[in-house]
Amino acid sequence: MVLGDQLNHHHSWFTEINPEVVYVLMEMKQETAYVLHHQQKIACFFEAMRRFASHIKSKGHRVHYLHINDEENQQKLSTNIAWLINHYQASKFEYQLPDEYRLDEELKALEQSLNVPVNAVDTEHFLSSRKDLEEQFASKKQVLMESFYRSMRKRYGILMDAPDKPKGGKWNYDAENRKPYKGKEALPAHNHPRNKLSQVKEDMVKAGLNYFGEMPEDTVFWPLDREQALQVLQDFIQHGLPYFGTYQDAMKTGNDFLFHSRLSFALNVKLLHPMEVIKAAEEAHQRSPAVYSLAGTEGFIRQILGWREFVRGIYWWKMPEYGESNFFGQTRELPTWYWTGETKMHCLKECIKGSLNNAYAHHIQRLMVTGNFALLAGIHPTAVDAWYLGIYIDAIEWVEMPNTRGMSQFADGGFLGTKPYVSTANYIDKMSDYCGHCHYDKKLKTGAKACPFNSLYWHFYERNRALLEKNPRIGMMYQLLNKMDATEKQKILSHAEGLLQNLDKL
């Protein structure tokens, strides 16, 4: 069995052709319905699976592909596997370890009910095991991504001058990255693939699948096979990487990608191996350090070698309890405009509309706009979790959940991150041009034109004082809150209360 996020052309399964082996891929309602998904996400998974099946079939492998509308499709993983074993009178069932906890549990349970031997193998994709992070930090007081990242740099010899000496003498060049974009450098044109998915969309409609979001002209620009993925990688290295680090946190009205790679979907369905992406960036720097700065190259590599592997380690260490974490006890539902983008807050309108159109937003749009607002507004992390998992094409639970519950919503109480990532309008204004286009005034804390982020920010800290006041990374906020004029403070908190009672109208 090959799952939809296991499209690894170089898996050892495919090195030899064995006519006794049948490779199975399945489009199932089970996988389209556990949350409400963006239509581009469903369509791209189906199309990428179909292309992968055609590829391995062209190499001589036997393939059984269950389309979403096939009569024999039971629409559920366990019943489909049982049917296929009976259909082929199979003597053995083998699968690659899934990357989502729920599927891992389902397959373990299924193994007990099958009357044939079952074998699970590695996906041969990740650069660390499920257990590596837990083993590294089990006896430590703090789990630090930076420590894990350094160990990975040493393990693989990436950007190293010697076994214990990082290139340039520093491990982290964040201080030189993360600047706002002022238009000085031309934005890359992004040589997108153009994939017409009319047949897939027709199949989705016929199957009666539920989804949201847009897919203009049934066309997507995401790479859906290995050839396209390699082309997008090459395009990013040539045009995006030179300024990626500098502007990786920048946001700009009307531009959803800036210098970002657009490789997350291809990576997460395993059309690309992380090391080939890392090596492409490292080799570009070695070849032309004047164009590909060490700071920018290191910043990009850290996202894949460090953060991507780190959050996966958190996921497998802390599931299933992690999926229930709610440190602040937040209870509100998402405002309705998270599904439409129809809000007067320009930053949220821009990021949500972009997400609805592209099934994508970059990490700062997710963290410091949509995630920031959800945390300030007291939205239940499960509602936030489901929204992120459904709307983004690259959102597979192992990577989405730690980023949402841990990094974005601080629902784990600080296990993954050391402080909540919240801000007033000031940060958004610093890193974008959003505030200049907004109905609200970024400088005001109260009144009809006041930016909601400003009062909600102080309300968040006040209502969570008992949980956060002793956090050394945010003590300054409580010093400021304590020094605030009592009348002004009450005015701000009352204004925030009014906003929280009318979130749908913002």
**Over the stretch 340-352, which tens digit does the pLDDT of each residue have?**
999 999 999 999 9
Contact (CB, 8 A) for 234 and 244: no
Q: What are the distances in angstroms from CA 238 to CA 188, 285, 291, 506?
A: 9, 11, 10, 41
Q: How far apart are CA 166 and CA 152, in angstroms?
A: 12
Q: Give the pLDDT confidence score for residue 123 in this predicted structure.
A: 98
Contact (CB, 8 A) for 211 and 204: yes
Q: How far apart are CA 93 and CA 317, in angstroms?
A: 27
Q: Do 345 and 314 share a structural domain?
A: no
Q: What is the pLDDT of residues 26-43, one digit of tens each?
A: 999 999 999 999 999 999
Q: Token match 């490789």: residue?
A: 263
Domain assignment present for 428: yes
DSSP 449-502: TB-HHHHHHHHHHHHTHHHHTT-TTSHHHHHHHHHS-HHHHHHHHHHHHHHHTT
At which of 260, 291, 318 does a domain end? 318
Domain assignment present for 7: no
Q: Give the pLDDT confidence score for residue 189 in this predicted structure.
A: 86
The chain-wide mean pLDDT, for the chain, equals 96
Residues 6+ apart with CB under 8 A from 277: 233, 263, 267, 304
Q: Do 194 and 103 share a structural domain?
A: no
Q: Token match 């989405």: residue?
A: 400
Model pTM score: 0.95
Domain assignment present for 4: no
Q: Do 298 and 195 share a structural domain?
A: yes
The torsion angles phi and psi of 456, rounded to 5 degrees, stand at: -65, -30
Q: What is the pLDDT of residues 250-291, one digit of tens each?
A: 999 999 999 999 999 999 999 999 999 999 999 999 999 999
Q: Do 473 and 345 share a structural domain?
A: yes
Question: What percentage of the chain exceeds 70 in pLDDT?
Answer: 100
Mean pLDDT over 307-314 rounds to 97
Q: Do 214 and 73 share a structural domain?
A: no
Q: Do 364 and 292 share a structural domain?
A: no
Strand partners, 274: none
Cα separation of the two ends of the chain = 47
Q: Say which CATH number the domain at 206 has.
A: 1.25.40.80
Q: Do 206 and 295 share a structural domain?
A: yes
**What domain range includes position 40?**
12-121
**Structural domain count of the chain:** 3
Domain assignment present for 126: no
Q: How far apart are CA 245 and CA 249, in angstroms?
A: 8
Q: Say which CATH number the domain at 97 has.
A: 3.40.50.620
Q: Do 59 and 138 share a structural domain?
A: no
Q: Do 155 and 70 share a structural domain?
A: no
Q: What is the pLDDT of residues 123-177, one digit of tens each?
A: 999 999 999 999 999 888 779 999 999 999 999 999 999 999 999 999 999 888 8
Q: Do 137 and 95 share a structural domain?
A: no
Q: Cβ atoms within 10 A of the Cβ of 346, count?
A: 20
Among 408, 437, 412, 411, smallest CA distance to 425 is for 437
Helix, strand, or coil (residue 26): strand
Q: How far apart are CA 251 and CA 428, in angstroms?
A: 8
Mean pLDDT over 373-389 rounds to 98
Domain assignment present for 328: no
At which of 102, 121, 140 does a domain end? 121
Q: What is the pLDDT of residues 429-459, one digit of tens each?
A: 999 999 999 999 999 999 999 999 999 999 9
Domain assignment present for 152: yes
pLDDT of residue 94 exceeding 80, the answer is yes
Q: Token match 């990532």: residue?
A: 421
Establish how many alpha carbons lie within 13 A of residue 103's alpha carbon, considering only the half-sphere containing its beta carbon: 20
Q: Give the pLDDT confidence score for residue 475 in this predicted structure.
A: 86
Among 161, 95, 130, smallest CA distance to 314 is for 130
pLDDT of residue 192 exceeding 90, the answer is no
Q: Do 303 and 210 share a structural domain?
A: yes
Q: Do 174 and 73 share a structural domain?
A: no
